[in-house]
Structure 1
């Protein structure tokens, strides 16, 4: 006896649902925010290298254009996240990133021993990185504005802002290189940011406390 059409339709997975061996990790809005922010950050880092390293400056030339690209990319950097706040999923994930629990301390201790610790949707390392990057971006934006609008601030402010901006930029470059290196070592994590879904077995192994 064949099932009724409406019953058969309910048994079929929704076209937008991930296969049974995969789980939804990020929405389209979250992936858009990450990609756009990464692109703007990449422009900031690349143009900064052209401004501060003579070898790159000679290859590229057109310093005024590089300066303008650097300034506007830095100014636009917070906008993808601000626009993404319209997404409920993004706001929920920001709450997870800002919330530390006892298991995060355990994760850090295990990580120092080279072992895997318990983690929710985001592990303690990702939470620390996100918090540091948010703070560093705000400081870079503030010091950059002081350097940009030179006629509005005294010389001491501009000198201090330049010092902080330059050294924080170097630190930011090192941290971003580490972030990219970690991502290259975890293909499934990159797949999650590219497609929005991850392998269920990977999620249960790397983020055992996460309940999608």
Structure 2
């Protein structure tokens, strides 16, 4: 639940603040580093995709910079996790929302239970992304040749490579779903660009959060 004092400052006659400036900057740093890492990671994954290494200036620079940029993304994502994990705890209404996802797809939101700041699908994706991020960090450390890989036997490194690829694939799919959903639900992208949503948007898509913010 949001702090009532903060809610008073975040609610106006026409809009509600969904993300402040620091949260939006943090989000976009994660987004930009993700794109760079996805392209450079695919370049390292298969020779047919090596041309994607142009994003970091070629093969040698890609091998050097990829893990460091990965650390930047992980730290920024960890900050978002610390900020929003409480809003992503699964509730009974979220389970009911997921069980009736057909109504979501058919745009029959009036048949769904009211949800908080995030719906069941967003919360599920949040925890999947945390798992993928953790897997990428741990496996990435193992295969980081310049610093750590010499500490591990070869079979551990091979397993780490597989885990890194699987987590990377899972994160890419998750981000694609995230982007599609943001575009699909009109008004969502604006929340992460200008920081606010209309009261009507909040009341329709996140009724419980709307009540917490407005007291209505």
TM-score normalised by the chain length of structure 2: 0.80
Does 1:108 pair with 2:63?
no
Judged with a 3 Å threshold, the aligned counterparts in structure 2 of structure 1 residues 107 and 84 are, in CA distance, closer, same or farther, namely closer
**1:23 match:** 16
CA contact (8 A) 2:74 2:137 kept: no
- Structure 2: gaps of 5 or more residues: 1-8
Q: Name the count of aligned residue pairs.
A: 191
Query: Shift in Å at residue 189 of structure 1?
Result: 0.8
- Structure 1: gaps of 5 or more residues: 1-15
- Residue by residue over 1:160-206, the C-alpha shift from the partner in whole angstroms, topping out at 9 and shown as x without a partner, is 11111112222222222121111221231110111111011011000
| Greater radius of gyration (CA) | 1
- Residue by residue over 1:101-136, the C-alpha shift from the partner in whole angstroms, topping out at 9 and shown as x without a partner, is 111111111213434322111101111111110111
CA contact (8 A) 2:133 2:167 kept: no
CA contact (8 A) 1:29 1:84 kept: no
* Secondary structure class of the residue paired with 1:77: helix
**1:95 match:** 86
**1:200 match:** 199
- Residue by residue over 1:77-109, the C-alpha shift from the partner in whole angstroms, topping out at 9 and shown as x without a partner, is 222245568xxxx73x32111x22111111111
TM-score normalised by the chain length of structure 1: 0.81
- Give the structure with the larger helix fraction: 2
**1:122 match:** 118
Alpha-carbon RMSD across the aligned residues, in angstroms, is 2.2
* Secondary structure class of the residue paired with 2:182: helix
Quote the Cα distance in structure 2 between the aligned partners of 1:145 and 1:51.
16
**1:135 match:** 131
